[in-house]
């Protein structure tokens, strides 16, 4: 029998409550686990948390990431070429959880990483290393029950993605189902910094709030503090930025510099705090 561990289940709730009180939105960086290798990845994650990341969205490297643009594809390839395995990913997760017991940790996976290796095994291992939520990039609403049922069995929060052009029926269903937070897609297409984020309309945010949706977190194309500020004023509860973070790291690796994303994360987080006007 699965036991309900309410302590873990509330990490997102606690975070979003605290941020609301402080009039901030969540800044959530995404990185591919094991990119550019196991040690550096751990180092990067520590940097990000210390620089102000409110939560983490982490991906297992995958051979066929169809929802990702060239930057995250590259991170996937580099991690796989560094020999990063599923076991390595769970190792990193366990380490991070031990160091940051209150930090919400979400996984962003492709369906085969969960299905091909055994649905329950994956959710159970994720639970055991302290993962809060799982989002599956290629499991839409109409196929979600398989995953959602496993998530429920292992008390993991299943996050769903809502496209900006979804009809009312779909908005309602996804608002109902998504736990922890709701991943609001800023635009169509794949991840990447090449196409800027779209900013959701007030009507959409109002409607989702009326539907009692989990906190709205905007992702895809969040590249600069300006994007974060725009999302913040539109009324979302948080933003996810992946390609922009990885792009910084790739540039530093190319130059042969020590990798350091602290400044970038700090700048993004500042924009997540500040009311509309820029700093003096």
Partner 1 sequence: MLDNLPSPYYGKFGGMFVPEILVPALEQLETCFLGAINDDAFNDEFYAMLKTYAGRETPLTLCQNISPNPKVKIYLKREDLLHGGAHKTNQVIGQCLLAKRMGKQRLIAETGAGQHGVAMAIVGARMGLDVTIYMGAKDVERQQQNVFRMRLMGARVIAVDSGSGTLKDAINEAMRDWSASYEHTHYVLGTAAGPHPFPLIVKHFQTVIGREAKQQVLAVEGRLPDALYACVGGGSNAIGLFADFIDEPDVSLIGVEPAGKGLDISGQHGATLGTGSNGILHGAITKIMQNDDGQISKSHSISAGLDYPGVGPEHAFLQDSGRVTYTSVTDQEALDAFHLLSRHEGIIPALESAHAVAQALKDAQQRPDGSILLVNLSGRGDKDLAQVMKHSEKEAH
Contact set with partner 1 (CB under 8 A): 62-67, 69, 73, 77, 80, 85-86, 111-117, 137-143, 160-163, 165-167, 185, 188-190, 195
Query: Please, are residues 261 and 248 in contact by the beta-carbon 8 Å criterion?
Result: yes
Nearest to partner 1 of 67, 82 (CB atom): 67
**List of E strands, the chain:** 26-32, 56-59, 105-109, 133-136, 157-159, 161-162, 182-185, 216-219, 238-241
The alpha carbon of 11 is separated from its chain's Cα centroid by a whole number of angstroms, namely 14
Q: Tell the smallest beta-carbon distance from residue 138 to partner 1 (Å).
A: 5
SS3 109: strand
Catalytic residues: 57, 68
Nearest to partner 1 of 70, 273 (CB atom): 70
Q: Tell the smallest beta-carbon distance from residue 25 to partner 1 (Å).
A: 23
Cα separation of the two ends of the chain: 56
Nearest to partner 1 of 77, 259 (CB atom): 77
Q: Which residues contact 83 (CB under 8 A, 6 or more apart)?
A: none
Q: Tell the smallest beta-carbon distance from residue 1 to partner 1 (Å).
A: 27
Nearest to partner 1 of 95, 163 (CB atom): 163
Give backbone dihedrals phi and psi of 242, rounded to 5 degrees, phi first.
Answer: -115, -60
Q: Which two tokens stand for residue 206?
A: 């109002």
Instruction: Give a three-class secondary structure readout of 202-249.
Output: HHHHHHHHHCCCCCEEEECCCCCHHHHHHHHHHCCCEEEECHHHHHHH
Nearest to partner 1 of 46, 187 (CB atom): 187
């Amino acid at each position: 029998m699965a036991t309900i561990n309410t302590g873990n289940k509330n990490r997102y709730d606690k975070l979003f409550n605290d941020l609301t009180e402080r009039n901030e939105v969540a800044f959530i960086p995404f990185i591919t686990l094991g990119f550019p290798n196991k040690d550096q990845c751990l180092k990067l994650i520590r940097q990000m948390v210390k620089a102000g990341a409110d939560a983490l969205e982490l991906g297992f490297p995958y051979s066929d990431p169809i929802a990702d643009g060239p930057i995250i594809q590259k991170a996937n390839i580099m991690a796989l070429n560094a020999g990063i395995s599923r076991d390595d990913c769970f190792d990193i997760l366990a380490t991070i959880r031990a160091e940051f017991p209150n930090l919400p940790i979400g996984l962003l996976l492709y369906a085969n990483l969960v299905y091909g290796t055994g649905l329950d095994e994956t959710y159970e291992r994720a639970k055991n290393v302290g993962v809060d939520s799982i989002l599956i990039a290629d499991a839409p609403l109409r196929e979600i029950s398989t995953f959602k049922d496993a998530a429920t069995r292992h008390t993991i929060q299943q996050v769903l993605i809502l496209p900006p052009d979804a009809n009312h029926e779909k908005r309602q269903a996804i608002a109902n189902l998504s736990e922890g937070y709701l991943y609001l897609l800023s635009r169509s297409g794949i991840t990447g910094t090449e196409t800027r984020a779209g900013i959701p309309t007030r009507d959409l945010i109002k409607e989702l709030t009326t539907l009692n949706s989990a906190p709205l977190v905007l992702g895809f194309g969040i590249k600069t503090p300006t994007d974060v500020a725009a999302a913040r004023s539109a009324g979302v509860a948080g933003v996810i930025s992946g390609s922009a973070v990885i792009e910084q790291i790739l540039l530093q690796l190319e130059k042969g510099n020590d990798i350091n994303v602290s400044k970038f994360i700090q700048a993004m987080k500042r924009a997540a705090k500040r009311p509309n006007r820029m700093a003096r």
